[in-house]
Amino acid sequence: MNNCAFSGNLTRDPELRRTQTGVAVANFSIAVNRPGEPDKTDFINCYAWRTRAEFVCKYFSKGQRIEVCGPMTSRNYEKNGERRTSMELRCDYVNFGERKREDSGEMTEEMAGTMAGDFEMMEDADSELPF
């Protein structure tokens, strides 16, 4: 099974191009910190196709946190007469990464709005429970 998942920060703005037939393809790279090795970072070349490519280019920019998942692919090419291989991640899944929040202990309006959709307020805490 070839399925990799990474969470990291974009090292540059995604670049959107189109094939000769008009299909969108986005290229970008992400920096991923190695777990347990704080001074080591891996740089992963990524690409996405079609609407996913347009999504990445529209909503992501350099430095932003991103989560990607898909198969690792290899590409052979020649540079200065020397054969080389490049490993790239085909992003079949792309999502926004979690931002670090300042831990002030206070709930922001944004957090309250998010939570409001997840929970129902009970009218009277002293009344009988519904179960």
Note the pTM of the prediction, 2 decimals: 0.69
User: Over the stretch 75-123, which tens digit does the pLDDT of each residue have?
Assistant: 899 999 999 998 999 999 999 987 655 544 454 554 444 444 455 555 5
φ, ψ of residue 28 in degrees (nearest 5): -160, 165
Q: What residue segments make up the domains of the chain, in order of their start?
A: 4-102
pLDDT value, residue 48: 96
Comparison of pLDDT for 130 and 103, the residue scoring more: 130
Strand partners, 27: 15, 47
Q: Chain-wide mean pLDDT for the chain?
A: 84
4-102: CATH topology is OB fold (Dihydrolipoamide Acetyltransferase, E2P) (2.40.50)
3-state secondary structure of 96: strand
